[in-house]
A and B are shown apart, each in its own frame.
Chain A
Amino acid sequence: MNRVDSMTAPAPTVTPAAPVVSPGTSPATPTDGASDLDAIRAVVRDTLAPLTLKIDEGYYPAEVLRALGAAGTFRQHLASQNGRGTVDIQAALSAMDIVSQECMSTGFMVWAQDVACWYIEMSGNDFLKETLLPKLACGEALGGTALSNPMKYLAGIEPLLISAEETEDAFILNGTLPWVSNLGADHWFGSIFKVGGDEPRDVMAMVNTSWPGMELKQLAKFCGMEGTGTYALSFTNVRVPKTHVLGDPLLPYLKKIKAGFVLLQTGMATGLIEGCIQLCEAVEPRFAHVNCYLDDRPDELREELEDARELIEALSADVFNPSTDFMRSVLEARLLGSELSLRAANAAMLHTGASGYLHDAPAQRKLREAYFVAIVTPAIKHLRKELDVMAAA
């Protein structure tokens, strides 16, 4: 398949492109990533696009996520689930890119679901691989990641907020995590906690939001991304059976998942940037004569986006490379995604002018989404800190 073409294809909402596989021919095999992407485009056009505004205002689109899951969105990077038997980060990114072009809130939830699957796929836990992973990979079960705090903990930015006591067959968790996303009743998330007692260490496990002692609190109201099922998570003596452990010892496991975790986020950024460029392009007939006085014209942004996509694709093909240089490149690619998102969204506002400033205009929504790319963990400041530490080594 030609991945670049499939990624840069027009946004489903702008151009109802003819499907590559015409209806009536035999159904595509589930192992074909390209036909999955066509199915994902159809879900975005028919199911997601009508809800984009509602999601921005706070509606959690479970039905969209389940439809995206059925279309294969969450299994692309999973060798055990995608039918191709290979880790295909690039295909997962293409899927997230397509979704994020229309609605980055949903793109973010695709990422959350993708990494929840990634945690299990990369673990040695056969029980979860057989029971939970297939359900998460097809969207039958939904879930996310509570790794913002642990990622900051590992970068020396803040302490770990969840503590645990160990029993013979379980860990008992206590503490509170602020804003964890893609949650609801009976959702799953990956959690890292500090184990006390005789053998103090950090451990990671899958936890269910409906287990006794778990409470979801919707305390904050954000200026965007309101439909992403984001809650403060409170743990009161939550019993996590050892059958649900993902990483213990934690560090070697985290080393294995980190590049994928960070790289997968870049699909949100490339999709958002693509969407912003399309908004700029759409007003060319009206404003080209004066928009040429602006920085970051759509053709220039597109060159930069293609450079970024090319770079990310190369990194995606090498996701288990253990070298420091590789991790530096991954962090730099993620940083580039944030910087370009901010510029592209700024350009979308300036290019579209008053029509982009309307209450329901996509440009102002994308501006708020762009700031999310730049501040969600790892935020720009977090990435720069990690890169500085690497430069000094």
Chain B
Amino acid sequence: MTTNSKTDTTPRWICTVCGWIYDENEGDPDSGILPGTRFEDIPDDWSCPLCGVTKSDFITLDEYAALRAASAPTVRPRRARGQVGGSDAVVIVGSGVAGWTVAEQIRARDPDRPITLITADDGCVYPKPALSMAIGQGRGADELVEMSGAVKAKSLNVTLQAFTRIMAIKPQARRLVTPRGSVNYGDLVLALGASQRRRDFGGDATDAILRVNDLASYRRLRERLDGGAKHVTLIGAGLIGVELAEDLRAGGHAVTLLDLGDQLLGRLAPAPIAARLLDALKAKDIQFKPGVSLASLESNAGRYTALLSNGRALETDLVVSAMGLVPNIDLAQKAGLRVNRGVIASADDLRTSDPHIFAVGDCAEIDGRSYFYIEPIRRQAATVAASLCGENLPFERHPVAIRVKTPSLPLNLCPPDLSVADLGGWHEKTAAGADCRMDFLVHQQLVGYALAGSCVTQSESLQRAVIASASSLVSAA
């Protein structure tokens, strides 16, 4: 760090009345005192050019500084250190479920810890799973807001810095750089979230493709759907794809669902369950095109022509891409933290490769896995808060139960952990019409399940069984 304090030793004299400084190098030419004139040699009838007092009211600057220093406070007054961040503060980046839950969990443990939450959006609190079920319920973006960021921050005694993106993390200096300036932190919690995967589609309208992953993008979707029934093309038939398809249909829109795979929910559900869901969606007039994706999108007289990978064309009003979530790791990567698909964090305390930086939620990767669901994210937040408050509360890597919000056929899915997925297989336990239960067994132990229709009521007991057997199998594998 460079400093620019004067290094020359020329005596300087200060007027104790007004603070004007006589520098012997500069003199006081306006009063006829030439540069280089020693203070002692100035005539006694000379007076301060600023306030008119005489030489006797001057002392050297060094004397003056010594006199004043005696009255200085020994530590920087708290008033002057600002409210945002600070070397004693926990700074949380991101205001999704992960970010706010960390703030809640710290506050529950420590009423006094300074907490700052920095977010690129307005920081408002809303239920993210509702984004794929609100159209059918007729709820607009504003109706999903449970609490404004300001109110939430006040309730937790948290400093909220909204509408502020982080430009860089400087782990050595424990500082963040933002467009408003730098922010110091004692400990940093990254709750950066994830983004919908992007692919370069061709065509002049490729910029018009929407991705729904937060309230702002949901608001844009609703704006585009205004004014009557539309035809919507959904790219990707994963969890978000099937939920949005059913929700858009419930809102009166026509839907075509594309996926490169040959079934719905390819990564999550066994084929018999996916086939039952497909029957239910077909009954609602939702089109599914397996083995097909978008090739390019061209504008066409106020609508779009979607050219598909199978050579067909589709006239549509709106294209929504839901090809899966990718953790936001860019900032962490540039800061030199260890990353893989996500920001690598330890299951013990969710610390990253830097001891003062934690990762939580969609952006975090723990033992090779990311957890994009509310329940494990809340447990991760508790783990972070506990370790920041000196407790030990390791994150338990349970298989996750996923409730698929498709009202025409409710599903509850618990896919097997990837580490054991190739050691066993799916077995049909119950099958009666749309109702179905399938178990994933490894060495006769239940490590996953998939439930459709009325069988979803069994999820709680099955989840307990899976958690019990998974702990032994995962550690063995």
Interface string of B52-77 (1 = CB under 8 A from A): 00000000011011001111110011
Q: Is A285 an interface residue (CB 8 A)?
A: yes
Within 8 A of A (CB), among B69-102: 69-73, 76-77, 79-80, 82
Within 8 A of A (CB), among B161-204: 165, 167-168, 170, 173, 175, 177-182
List, in ascending order, chain B residues with CB within 8 A of A5's CB.
2
List, in ascending order, chain A residues with CB within 8 A of B65's CB.
285-286, 288
Interface segment, one of B13-21, B365-373, B410-418: B13-21
Contact of A339 among B6, B68, B80, B180 (CB under 8 A): B180
In the bound assembly, the distance between CA atoms of A304 and B359 in angstroms comes to 25
List, in ascending order, chain B residues with CB within 8 A of A10's CB.
2, 4
Interface segment, one of A83-91, A129-137, A330-338: A330-338
In the bound assembly, the distance between CA atoms of A294 and B73 in angstroms comes to 13
List, in ascending order, chain B residues with CB within 8 A of A335's CB.
179
Q: Is A125 an interface residue (CB 8 A)?
A: no
A370 → chain B closest CB, angstroms: 14
Q: In the complex where A5-B2, A15-B4, A292-B80 touch, is A304 in contact with B181 (Cβ < 8 A)?
A: yes
Q: In the complex where A293-B79, A295-B82 touch, is A285 in contact with B179 (Cβ < 8 A)?
A: no
List, in ascending order, chain A residues with CB within 8 A of B19's CB.
286, 353-355
Q: Is B34 an interface residue (CB 8 A)?
A: no
List, in ascending order, chain A residues with CB within 8 A of B170's CB.
307
List, in ascending order, chain B residues with CB within 8 A of A311's CB.
167-168, 177
Q: Is B120 an interface residue (CB 8 A)?
A: yes
B182 touches A304 (CB 8 A): yes
Q: Is A14 an interface residue (CB 8 A)?
A: yes
The tally of residues in B whose CB lies under 8 Å from a CB in A reads: 44
Contact of A336 among B68, B180, B216, B220 (CB under 8 A): B180
B18 touches A332 (CB 8 A): no
Q: In the complex where A286-B14, A339-B179 touch, is A11 in contact with B71 (Cβ < 8 A)?
A: no
Interface segment, one of A74-82, A152-160, A264-272, A276-284: A276-284
List, in ascending order, chain B residues with CB within 8 A of A285's CB.
61-62, 64-65
Q: Is B7 an interface residue (CB 8 A)?
A: yes
Q: In the complex where A282-B6, A294-B80, A354-B18 touch, is A307 in contact with B64 (Cβ < 8 A)?
A: no
Q: In the complex where A288-B69, A292-B73 touch, is A340 in contact with B4 (Cβ < 8 A)?
A: no
A289 touches B69 (CB 8 A): yes
Within 8 A of A (CB), among B194-246: 207, 216, 220
In the bound assembly, the distance between CA atoms of A25 and B418 in angstroms comes to 71
Interface of B is mostly: loop
A339 touches B181 (CB 8 A): yes
List, in ascending order, chain B residues with CB within 8 A of A295's CB.
80, 82
In the bound assembly, the distance between CA atoms of A319 and B164 in angstroms comes to 24
Q: Is A393 an interface residue (CB 8 A)?
A: yes
Q: Is B475 an interface residue (CB 8 A)?
A: no
B12 → chain A closest CB, angstroms: 9
B68 touches A289 (CB 8 A): yes
In the bound assembly, the distance between CA atoms of A73 and B457 in angstroms comes to 75
Within 8 A of A (CB), among B323-347: 330
Q: Is A32 an interface residue (CB 8 A)?
A: no
List, in ascending order, chain B residues with CB within 8 A of A15's CB.
4, 6-8
A281 touches B3 (CB 8 A): yes
List, in ascending order, chain A residues with CB within 8 A of B18's CB.
354
B48 → chain A closest CB, angstroms: 13
List, in ascending order, chain A residues with CB within 8 A of B73's CB.
289, 292
A10 (CB) vs chain B CBs: closest residue: B4
In the bound assembly, the distance between CA atoms of A287 and B19 in angstroms comes to 10
Q: Is B1 an interface residue (CB 8 A)?
A: yes
A11 touches B4 (CB 8 A): yes
Q: Is B5 an interface residue (CB 8 A)?
A: yes
In the bound assembly, the distance between CA atoms of A11 and B77 in angstroms comes to 30
A392 (CB) vs chain B CBs: closest residue: B220
B120 → chain A closest CB, angstroms: 7
Q: Is A168 an interface residue (CB 8 A)?
A: no
Minimum-distance CB pairs A-B, first 5:
A289-B72, A285-B65, A8-B2, A335-B179, A304-B182
Extra inter-chain contacts (7) besides given A292-B77, A303-B182, A392-B216, CB under 8 Å: A15-B4, A285-B61, A289-B72, A302-B3, A332-B179, A340-B181, A392-B220
Chain B residues proximal to chain A, CB less than 8 Å: 1-8, 14, 18-20, 61-62, 64-65, 68-73, 76-77, 79-80, 82, 120, 165, 167-168, 170, 173, 175, 177-182, 207, 216, 220, 330
Q: List 29 A-B contacts (CB under 8 A).
A: A5-B2, A10-B2, A11-B4, A15-B7, A15-B8, A277-B4, A278-B4, A281-B4, A282-B6, A284-B5, A285-B61, A286-B64, A286-B65, A286-B68, A288-B69, A289-B72, A293-B79, A293-B80, A297-B80, A302-B1, A303-B1, A303-B182, A307-B182, A311-B177, A336-B180, A354-B18, A354-B19, A391-B120, A393-B207
